Amino acid sequence: MTDDFCTSLGDELRRAAAEVPEQTFIRMAAGEWTYRQFNDESDRLAAGLHAQGVRRGDNVSLLLPNCIELALLWFALAKLGAAAAPVNTSFRGAVLADAVNLVESRLAVVHAELLEPWQQIRGQLAGIAQVFVLGTGPVAGAVGAPYERLRSVAPGSETLPRPDVGFDERCLLLYTSGTTGRSKAAMIAHRFVLAQARGFIAGLELRPDDVLYCPYPMFHLDATVLTIAPALLLRGVAALGERFSVSRYWDEVRVLQATVFDFMGATITMLWKQAPSPGDRNHRARLGWGVPLPSFTPEFEARFGCRLVELYGSTEVGAAMFTPLHAPRRMGSCGTLAAGFTARLADAQGFEVPRGQVGELLIRPEQPALLTQGYYGMPEATLAAFKDLWFHTGDMMRQDEDGYMYFVGRSKDMVRRRGENISSAEVEMGIETHPEVLECAVYGVPSEFTEEEVMASVVLRPGATLTAAGLAAHCAAHMARFMVPRYLRFLPALPKTPTDKVEKFRLKDEGVVPGTWDREAAPGGSG
């Protein structure tokens, strides 16, 4: 990793291409791209985008699945001083139109496979003047120009613009998940990407020979800031999957020769609950990182032969906490603050809570631009988040006497039941200890006693025979009585975003439907 400081992604890529031109930079199932190839192609695209009118400070919407073109466009735009706005590929209708209009894009690149939802909103797009289509399809030509046109300008000294891109200029607009409301576009600067990548390398003790694997979408922080950018600084390899698949996960890890992988949400539980295989340790992976660590972490590590590390991060703050690799493990902890951050836990009035008590995590950087610059086009949301010179994460945590943080849940993901504040995350962890449970979601539903009741939607493993009464008994044995769900509902699958976050608002909207098991209506049931 270079010790010299570059001010932009484009500068860092050009330096890497000069230092290790034939080293693989990006590896996907479709092929590999060296640093030289990736730099040259992003130069070509930068020239093409400039010829189409893209200028410094512009935003370009990208409705693309995981593909090399998405990564190339990100760097090409960064070289121009413009920003890539990769759109969640599951967005449809008014949500998709709102996301594109929000960032005021004049130009968009759309994959042919996603032209149908794009066509449905074309009349609602206020500023899009040009559309370029990657791939072919029945209506591709009618929607926009072929992507290849962006590659038609051979970059030369007179065609390749090289603006002096500033450290604090934005290069990415990453949409928040939108699981609880309207998606916001977090503004990510070059400084944020490079500083976060350096902190990530230091926190996980990554090496130049590491292959960083991410199976999640490139419209997510994990794939861009925490996979591609660290690989670039290490002069290592970023291995990108097309999408997460529990059945193909380890095969892809093996094929891509990954040494470091990430997980999120229930994915680690889903991997664990696959049937053991003689090939479970047949891979090069030495380290996995994500949140949260399950109770079966030691057994997972023994079975698959790799270390799991819990950390804390978000689109707005990046990776701000790590579990130290060489310190005694504290199960359930997100670790301690990464270098460059200050944090406090506060109550609803903003007063700091004592150690051991739950409060909202407030965080701020010790140097500029280690957090998002705010939400594009949403000054009110930015002011609300950056209140009293602290960024209010909305995450509820507690801190032990040694400074280790423990995630309790989202401030809006707490259930208030008969005077008790209940963490949905803690109830979910208790339910998922049952061997026949694959995954679950816990949330509050209206109660006849005011406040809320605890409800859980549960997905069972194939062939499971677990009943609602049996699961309720398991919960009673593994958690406080007031936390035991009153309502249990079995589903074939949970509604999720492409980054595998459960869309609880959909389940909450459905509420208690016919067929839902009610503990208080069951024989011997009571509150």
Q: How far is CA 312 from CA 219, 252, 375, in A?
A: 19, 25, 21
Residues 200-239 have pLDDT tens digits of 999 999 999 999 999 999 999 999 999 999 999 999 999 9
Do residue 248 and residue 385 come from a single domain?
yes
Do residue 340 and residue 210 come from a single domain?
yes
Q: Give yes or no for a contact between 209 and 26, defined as CB atoms under 8 angstroms apart.
A: no
Give the mean model confidence (pLDDT) for residues 188-210.
95
Q: Give yes or no for a contact between 189 and 166, defined as CB atoms under 8 angstroms apart.
A: no
Do residue 434 and residue 388 come from a single domain?
no
Residue 93 maps to a domain: no
Amino acid 418: pLDDT: 67
User: What tokens appear for 231 in the block?
Assistant: 């690989």
Q: Give yes or no for a contact between 344 and 320, defined as CB atoms under 8 angstroms apart.
A: no
Do residue 282 and residue 359 come from a single domain?
yes
157 pLDDT more than 90: no
Count of the separate structural domains present in the chain: 2
Do residue 435 and residue 360 come from a single domain?
no
Tell me how far apart the terminal alpha carbons of the chain are, to the nearest angstrom: 59
Q: Which of residues 410, 436, 452 is at a domain's end?
A: 410
Q: Give yes or no for a contact between 50 and 161, defined as CB atoms under 8 angstroms apart.
A: yes
User: What tokens appear for 94 in the block?
Assistant: 């008014």
Amino acid 192: pLDDT: 95
Residues 71-93 have pLDDT tens digits of 999 999 999 999 999 998 888 88
Q: How far apart are CA 225 and CA 74, in angstroms?
A: 11
Higher pLDDT, 220 or 27: 27
Amino acid 180: pLDDT: 45
Amino acid 412: pLDDT: 72
Residue 48 maps to a domain: no
Q: Give yes or no for a contact between 292 and 425, defined as CB atoms under 8 angstroms apart.
A: yes
Do residue 325 and residue 349 come from a single domain?
yes
What is the span of the domain harbouring residue 383? 193-410
Do residue 400 and residue 462 come from a single domain?
no
Give the mean model confidence (pLDDT) for residues 343-367.
92
Do residue 448 and residue 393 come from a single domain?
no
Residue 109 maps to a domain: no
179 pLDDT more than 50: no
Q: How far apart are CA 346 and CA 188, in angstroms?
A: 26
Judged by DSSP in three states, 91 sits in: coil
Percent of the chain at pLDDT above 90?
67
Closest CA to 149 of 223, 22, 255, 51: 51
Q: Where are the alpha helices (DSSP H) in 81-133?
A: 93-102, 115-121
Closest CA to 269 of 460, 480, 485: 460
Q: Give yes or no for a contact between 378 and 419, defined as CB atoms under 8 angstroms apart.
A: no
Residue 396 maps to a domain: yes
Q: Which of 37-46, 219-228, 326-335, 405-414 is least confident? A: 405-414
Do residue 451 and residue 511 come from a single domain?
yes
Q: Does this model's pTM top 0.85?
A: no
Q: Which of residues 410, 440, 456 is at a domain's end?
A: 410
User: What tokens appear for 302 in the block?
Assistant: 């023994």
User: Residue 265: pLDDT band by 50, 70, 90 thresholds?
Assistant: low
Do residue 279 and residue 344 come from a single domain?
yes
Q: Give yes or no for a contact between 197 and 40, defined as CB atoms under 8 angstroms apart.
A: no
Residue 11 maps to a domain: no
Q: Give yes or no for a contact between 438 and 463, defined as CB atoms under 8 angstroms apart.
A: no
Amino acid 3: pLDDT: 46
Closest CA to 406 of 486, 316, 293: 293
Do residue 503 and residue 439 come from a single domain?
yes
Q: Which of residues 385, 410, 435 is at a domain's end?
A: 410
Do residue 422 and residue 405 come from a single domain?
no
Q: What is the domain-level CATH number for residue 440? A: 3.30.300.30
Residue 258 maps to a domain: yes
Amino acid 473: pLDDT: 95
User: Residue 264: pLDDT band by 50, 70, 90 thresholds?
Assistant: confident
Residue 487 maps to a domain: yes
Amino acid 526: pLDDT: 56
In order, the DSSP letters of 477-516 are HHS-GGGS-SEEEE-SS--B-TT--B-HHHHHHH-S-TT-
Chain CA centroid to CA 337, Å: 19
| Residues sharing a CB contact under 8 Å with residue 142, sequence separation 6 or more, in sequence order | none
Amino acid 419: pLDDT: 57
Q: What is the domain-level CATH number for residue 367? A: 3.40.50.12780
**Rg for the chain (alpha carbons), in Å?**
24
Q: What does residue 452 show for φ and ψ, rounded to 5 degrees?
A: -140, 165
Give the mean model confidence (pLDDT) for residues 451-455.
89
Give the mean model confidence (pLDDT) for residues 272-290.
93
Residue 26 maps to a domain: no
Q: What does residue 348 show for φ and ψ, rounded to 5 degrees?
A: -60, -25
Tokens 């970059």 belong to residue:
155
Q: What angle do CA 272, 310, 167 make, to 5 degrees?
A: 130
